[in-house]
Chain A
Amino acid sequence: MDNSSDLHTPLYDLLREYGGRFVNFAGWQMPVQFTGIIAEHQAVRNAVGIFDVSHMGELLVEGPDAFKALDFVVTNSIGRMQDGKALYTLMCLPTGGIVDDIIIYREAADRYFICANASRKDVDFAHLRQATAKFRCKIFDCSNEYAQLALQGPKAAALLTKLSKLDVKSLSNFTFCDATVANIDSVRVARTGYTGEDGFELYCAPKDAVELFSAILKVGADYGLMLCGLGARDTLRLEMKYSLYGNDIDTECNPIEAGLEWAVKLNKGDFIGREALIVETQEKPKRKLIGFKMVGRGIPRHGYDINFNGEKVGVVTSGTHSPTLNVPIGIGYVPTSVAAIGTNIDIIIRDREVSAVIVETPFYQRAKHDYS
């Protein structure tokens, strides 16, 4: 176990008791797996899994200009958000480089709650403070006030219904509310996630985290609930081609080439990075983040070279064995000229060229279920 970091979530001791294998992630000791990544992955795809994601950052933007300030900082349009709505968006530099990808929750017109990547929370806070200095609003880092659990999978809604009087049917995708769950008041329940399955992210006070987690585990036995670690979280998100900050996106790439143009609203008015992103859109990106499946034998990993016709053209940003598809998959940047679906490329795996083919993404699409 790597003990070089000493940030622990409120669930650290409990998760160790449950056999979690811990690794350092963004300065936090986080469980990478319990039973095994494949079993945990499949539990989320077929039943339900629970993750401790308390390392994620929480920020608050509050004040009469909160809307204007936030709309100026993020790429997506928050103008259509209503109270109780959540939105995926990006924050960019004037160059178009991505500062972070975040989820914004609108509590009120003058109050927005933000979930940020653990590794970027401090950068986001500084960026937000600086970028919104001219507006009448304040930015708060409230990360210490929240623990966060992710309950994900087709049986997540049924499980949650057992623990709460919340009308789960009324909570549509990317909405949230504050509810009593497992007799714990003021749990923020958001129908969001990072796995491609139906599910919920639950924000609670750190002092309540063990009780909430334990209650979910107890009830979860009837639903095939498995404890899941960051390993399964990574394979699940990669099957969806959800970006991981630091791997697939960073300040050196922009949302257009990263395939996140759907979260950029160039017509909403001025925002940081808009001019650069207009140019990028008009001139077409020189490179694109593509998804590929291996044809030859081997597993692509972050940092491996991508070759086309014997020449290096790009780099793998994320790769793994896909437990659902049972083939190795990866994503990476290649020049737009070789980014077409069906293009044959090679991944350099330990000095060998191994065949791969560019495919449509997401790699996985969930079956239609009645999740109510």
Chain B
Amino acid sequence: MTIPEEFKYTKEHEWLCSEQDHFVVGITAHAQEQLGDVVFVELPEVGSRVKQGESFGSVESVKAVNDLYAPVSGEVIEINEQLADNAALVNEDPYGKGWLIKVKRTDDHNEDGNLLSAADYKKLLDG
């Protein structure tokens, strides 16, 4: 199971990647595998606010719908428009073309303790 070293993770299987002045958010390879074929992703509007630990959208596979939880608080500055036509990108490339949203963070310090390192996330999966 791929778990990029440089990313941060949530217990709900989202990943977070720092990129210039913002963060990119997606779901992990483990999450997409558990979901199965992803056919629809509901994402927030650009400009809306997300709060760490709260739902910002949903991802639907053929069988089930799951909430997406924000790894950090901030403003949504971009959403992955390609998912509207091809939600399967989440399955095919969860850490790349299957990213979900980009967030400009509003809290720089207090939330870090709630995020997992790659090693901790691996421990969670190995459970």
Contact = CB atoms under 8 A, between A and B. Distances in A.
Contact of A298 (B40, B62, B84): B40
Given A37-B36, A231-B36, A321-B39, A301 B62 contact: no
Interface string B53-66: 00000101111010
Most buried by A among B36, B40, B63, B84: B63
A321 B60 contact: yes
A134 interface: no
Given A36-B36, A37-B37, A321 B42 contact: no
Given A36-B37, A37-B36, A38-B37, A323 B62 contact: yes
A297 B43 CA distance: 11
Q: Is the interface of A mostly helix, strand, loop or mixed?
A: mixed
A297 B40 contact: yes
B58 A38 contact: no
A35 to B, nearest CB: 10
A39 B58 CA distance: 23
Interface string A345-359: 000001000000000
A251 interface: no
A38 B36 CA distance: 9
A320 interface: yes
B62 A320 contact: yes
Interface in B52-80: 58, 60-63, 65
Contact of B58 (A33, A320, A350): A350
A38 B91 CA distance: 12
Interface residues of B, number: 12
Contact of B63 (A39, A231, A298, A328): A231
B73 to A, nearest CB: 22
Given A321-B60, A350-B58, A299 B65 contact: yes
Nearest to A33: B36
Most buried by A among B36, B40, B62: B62
Contacts of A350: 42, 58, 65
A143 interface: no
Contacts of B39: 38, 299, 321, 328
Contacts of B42: 297-298, 350
A321 B36 contact: no
B66 to A, nearest CB: 11
A299 B37 contact: no
Contacts of B60: 298-299, 321
Interface of A: 21, 32-33, 36-39, 231, 234-235, 297-299, 301, 320-321, 323, 328, 350
29 contacts: A21-B36, A36-B36, A36-B37, A37-B36, A37-B37, A37-B62, A37-B63, A38-B37, A38-B62, A39-B37, A231-B36, A231-B62, A234-B63, A235-B62, A297-B40, A298-B40, A298-B42, A299-B39, A299-B60, A301-B65, A320-B62, A320-B63, A321-B39, A321-B60, A321-B62, A323-B62, A328-B39, A350-B58, A350-B65
